Structure formats: C-alpha cells, structure tokens
Amino acid sequence: MTQAGLCHGKVMVIAHPKTTVREISQHRLRQLYLNRSKKWADGSSVHLTVFVDQPATTVFITKHLGKSTAQFKRYWKQQLFSGKGIPPEYFKTLQELLQYIRTTRGAIGFIDCDAPPKGVAVIRLTE
C-alpha cells in the first residue's frame, strides 16, 4: 500500500518498527488515547505520543477523539491526578518524536501525512 493509502485525512498513524499491528480501527485508537485500554493485543504496554502544535494533532484529536486539544489536555490531567493513567509523551520536533517511537517498544503516535515516517511502522487506520 502506498503512503497516501495509509493517510486518514491529514493524519498518519505510526508505531514502533517491530510492531505486529498493521491496522487499527478508529474505535481502538480512541480507546488507547482516552486511556480505556493500556495494552496491545499481545499484552504489551502501549506508550502514547503527541506531536505538539501540529495541524495533524488538531485533526487527530478533533476527528478521532472527539475533543478539542484543550479538552484532551484537561482529560489527561484528570487521569493523572486521579491516578488512572500516565499522559502521552509530548514532542516538539518530528525528530524527537520519531526517535522515541523507534526506540520505545509499544510506542504509537500520529504525524502529518507529508512528514517522512523514517524508521517506524505505518499503521492503516480503519473505520
């Protein structure tokens, strides 16, 4: 499948290069990013990432999670404060984000479709 075929709107879902997941449903992605599920199907831990202040971030959070970016941040502050979960790792540069995902088993994130996904697995997002 081409890189364009792996884009969903303006967003591409990426993960650790050795992930066995090749596609993920919007529902499952929402479960992960809203802390309703913390494990991959194989039982390993999921490590969430967010690329700060990027157009893809706004699209992803709004379209796929049904929240504004401010609501998403508040949601995770509440999760952390109540002891229910650890918020995603936030990254300011694409290089830092890709490096973290490349080196952290179970890591997942999303980037703009125009960004080069070097050294990471690209996951097809399904309805």
Q: Cα(105)–Cα(82) distance, rounded to whole angstroms?
A: 26
Paired strand residues for 122: 14
Reported as a single tens digit per residue, the pLDDT across 95-109 is 999 999 999 999 999
Please give the pLDDT value at position 5: 56
Q: State what percent of residues in the chain have pLDDT above 70.
A: 94
Determine the average pLDDT of the residues in 61-82. 95
- Tokens (6 digits) for 112: 């703009």
Please give the pLDDT value at position 8: 67
**Domains assigned to the chain:** 4-126 (3.40.190.10)
Q: Cα(58)–Cα(111) distance, rounded to whole angstroms?
A: 11
Residues 56/67/106/113 CA torsion (nearest 10 deg) = -10
Determine the average pLDDT of the residues in 55-61. 91
Please give the pLDDT value at position 40: 92
**Pair type for strands 11-15 and 47-51:** unpaired
Please give the pLDDT value at position 127: 79
Pick the closest to residue 53 from 86, 14, 94, 106 (CA basis).
94
Reported as a single tens digit per residue, the pLDDT across 5-29 is 577 668 899 999 999 999 999 999 9
Please give the pLDDT value at position 97: 96
Cβ atoms within 10 Å of 2's Cβ, excluding its own: 6
